[in-house]
A and B are shown apart, each in its own frame.
Chain A
Amino acid sequence: MERKAPAIYYDGLTSKPWEALVSVHGSNTLEVSVVGADGRPETFHWPMEHKGLQWERSGNHMLRLHFGDHPRKVLIVRDELFVQSFALRMRYSGRQGTYDRVLSAARSGPALFFLAVIGLLVGGYLWALPWASERLALLMPRSMDVQLGDAMYAGMAPSLNEDTARSAILQRFADQLQVAPGFKPTFHYVSDDQVNAFAMPGGHIVVFSGIAEKMTKPGQLAALLAHEGTHVEERHSTRMIMRSMGSYVFLSLLLGDLSGVVGVIAQNADNIRGMGYSRSLESEADATGQERMKAGGVDPEGMVHLLELLEQEAQDMPEELSFLSSHPLTKERIAKARAKAAELGQVNVADSLQATLFEQLVKP
């Protein structure tokens, strides 16, 4: 950079532009020479490593250098060669900021850069985001699940016609099994014709008489409780809430509107009752439920019988699909449950207490 490049110099005192020549003097000093008002050339030096020297460039066609405090002295260089070599020099001396580097990348191929950013965003949205929000959900204290579930159940309880005597029997039946060992689930037996059952985060599990009365074997009830218990134990609701909140925050950031984050929490809490878990969470609830059945001394084959009962129901009563609609592909699930049961092996326990409790529960 021995070459002297033409530049415009403003002295920060008046608006008069001065013609100037700029070059690099020695290893790291800028030399600026200006022809002053009296016609005499004036030369001064700006150390390039000085903190008071700030520079900005727009591509290769313009470089703006400021020196000193307000009012600054300003030098504008439009010489492409000078701008280029100045930027290179700053890069090697470590004074090129991250921003300038990213922007250079963007400038060298805007379309490619744009696609890369889009790819990054899509990847982030599809993989990184669900992963991160699930990790976050697992970091939440378990007591939060319990509080959330208690609040939700309290809001719902008045509309449920609970049979407290049978709830007590159900509770004893479930306690034998330990369906959600990490929590202390409370079981509610509700007189309602719907073929349905659901679990709230932290432990309230509701079983409708509509489904219990269709059952013929204690294994089916055990399977149902194990399935719902797994939703509680594995904190599926909390994970779902965190996931949809994560998506919401991400999309809001993208669109620059954060006003609805509070809304999404309320909406999610409201939706949980009717919310279908994702297919993978349902499969997890089936399989883990079966393992828990085995641990609790119940034949995991019960899950197969439960799913068969549900499939039967779907054919008999097409208008009452609520349980099944959130549990898609029953055939596939039956096959999986059968395989899992075979893998776990048969458990030959004839638990008379469970059989008795089951009889008491389903008898009219």
Chain B
Amino acid sequence: MDLLQPRKRFAFTGQGGDLFSVLIVNWLLTIVTLGLYYPWAKARKLQYYYEHSELDGHPFHFHGTGREMFKGFIKAVLLIVLVFGPFYVGSILQKPMLMIGGLILLLVGSMALFPLIIHGSYRYRSSRSSWRGIHFGYRGILKELYSICLRDGFITLVTCGLYSAWLQMNVRSYVLSHLRYGSSRFTYKGDGGDYFLLNLKGYFLTLFTLGIYFFWWMKDRFNYYVDNLSWTVGEGADQRTMRFRSTATGGDMFALMVVNFLIVVFTLGIGLAWAEVRLMRFALSNIEMVGDADLDKVVQTEDEHKNALADDLGDLMDFDIFL
């Protein structure tokens, strides 16, 4: 249908051996410094990923530094101690009152942190990312994100989790629709109902096919993410939109996941770098943009935001925001 439309492609140019060198140096320095190097290691790894991700032949860049992530890391550790500390101290000292109070603090605290982590991480990561010298940015408002999370989170609890598809789509739509690249902006149109049916179908077909359909289910989720995203450049009459499109197939997803699993298992984890490179190649080479927007016309608009607290907090709480 849009065969005649111009298209732009993403690509990942990283190599397993290269990434392996980066990871092993990170590993070494983290151990030698008794873990203090961790934020720098994270910055190096992200820099590698961004530097080797290309759109239309131009690499992305991650501007985050170990130093600012270290500051965020320290703050995040303190915050975690404040939220999780009372419960642990209570259970070690066997003080029931402190334990119950601590548990309530822990549950309420981690739920309250959830939108904060998403908001802060998007602000930080987007502001520290650039392409062709223009920075990304996030202009969502924390209060609005909180109200979405509270409303949908409550309905999700009441419906025993059935509503989580809507929660996820509403949060994702809000966040991605407030993402900017300089003067241009992104839009995500995910619908909770569609996403719910997609997962329902995936779940049952995976059961009926003894797991084989799982890879096609994962492909559908990936495609749902990509296909509903668009990028608008220009204002008024000059406004043009690029649509993101996924070319991933279930067969590709199957090959990716099975081979990656085998690589990691049979190399006892040493092959992780190669598995990661395969994953990045799969993801980026299967995304293309269709449309006639002029990508040269974007103007720098976004300020720098250097507070990495939320990003590190998400890390410590093992909470993956970006997928």
Contacts and interface: CB of A to CB of B under 8 A. Distances in A.
A15 B18 contact: no
Contacts of A254: 31
Interface in B103-151: 130-135
B297 interface: yes
A39 B297 CA distance: 18
A327 to B, nearest CB: 34
Contacts of B270: 114
A99 B51 contact: no
A8 interface: yes
A73 interface: yes
A17 B61 contact: no
A285 to B, nearest CB: 33
Interface stretch (A54-62, A152-160, A185-193): A54-62
Chain A interface SS verdict (over half)? mixed
Interface stretch (A103-111, A218-226, A271-279, A296-304): A103-111
A110 B297 contact: no
Contact of B52 (A13, A58, A110): A58
B96 interface: no
A15 B24 contact: no
A139 interface: no
B27 A117 contact: yes
Contacts of B29: 99, 102
Interface string A108-132: 0010011001001100000000000
A357 to B, nearest CB: 43
A13 B59 CA distance: 17
A72 B21 contact: no
A110 B130 CA distance: 30
A56 B299 contact: no
A262 interface: yes
Contacts of A258: 35
Contact of B59 (A62, A99, A120): A62
B300 A13 contact: yes
B133 A12 contact: yes
B197 to A, nearest CB: 38
12 contacts: A13-B300, A14-B300, A15-B182, A15-B299, A17-B132, A59-B18, A64-B51, A74-B130, A110-B24, A249-B34, A253-B30, A262-B88
Given A71-B300, A253-B35, 7 more contacts: A10-B134, A12-B134, A14-B182, A62-B59, A114-B24, A117-B27, A253-B31
When A and B form their complex, which 5 residue pairs have the shortest distance between CB atoms, in order from nearest? A10-B133, A106-B21, A15-B298, A16-B296, A15-B132
Interface of A: 8, 10-17, 56, 58-59, 62, 64, 70-74, 76, 99, 102-103, 106-107, 110, 113-114, 117, 120-121, 249-250, 253-254, 258, 262
